Amino acid sequence: MQCYCFVCDAPAPCKDWGKGLLNDDHCHATDKETKWKTLRQAFKCQSVPAAYPDEHPNVVSPTTPSPRQ
């Protein structure tokens, strides 16, 4: 069985797989956490580099309703 990166949707290890020492290493990604699901959607849309969500705090998932003003 081949492992894959949930964020990149590619065979593991991806370029951001890491060694499990950092919380943002893709080896920790699962479909159980909103953080990883949001990164996965952003990666698929290519709107944000998947490994750097903290540098793009205003990115929202397309499934998230826009705030009303």
User: Mean per-residue pLDDT for 6-15?
Assistant: 94
Tell me the pLDDT band of 61, cut-offs 50, 70 and 90.
very low
> According to the model, what pLDDT value does residue 48 have?
53
Q: At 59, give phi and psi (nearest 5°).
A: -75, 130
Dump the DSSP string for 15-39. Answer: TT---S-STT-GGG--TT-HHHHHH
Please check whether residue 7 is in contact with residue 1, taking contact to mean a CB–CB distance below 8 angstroms.
no
Task: Tell me if the pTM is above 0.85.
Answer: no
Tell me the pLDDT band of 6, cut-offs 50, 70 and 90.
very high
Using CB atoms within 10 Å of the CB of residue 25, give its burial: 0 to 12 exposed, 13 to 18 middle, 19+ buried: middle
**For the chain, domain boundaries:** 4-55
Q: Is 12 strand, coil or helix? A: coil
